[in-house]
Amino acid sequence: MDTNSGEFAIYTAQDASVKLDLLKMELKHCKEMLEQKDKEIELLRKLTETV
């Protein structure tokens, strides 16, 4: 039986967990940027309505 496979599985799981955390942070950032763009679009709509 290969004893290294257990350690490899642990490292792989930790690596996947780190990558998942990074993706969550990136998704949060994208959501914030999208919300900011929505605010900008709404502001532009209001400005064009008054013209």
SS3 sequence, 5-35? HHHHHHHHHHHHHHHHHHHHHHHHHHHHHHH
Confidence of residue 50 (pLDDT cuts 50, 70, 90): confident
pTM, to two decimals: 0.65
Domain for residue 17, yes or no?
A: no
Distance CA 14, CA 26 (A): 18
pLDDT tops 60 at residue 43: yes
- Structural domains of the chain, count: 1
Domain for residue 37, yes or no?
A: yes
Long-range CB pairs of 21-30 (<8 Å, 24+ gap) are none
- pLDDT 10s digits, 4-35: 677 877 778 889 999 999 999 999 999 999 99
Domain for residue 42, yes or no?
A: yes
Distance CA 29, CA 23 (A): 10
Range of the domain at 47: 23-51
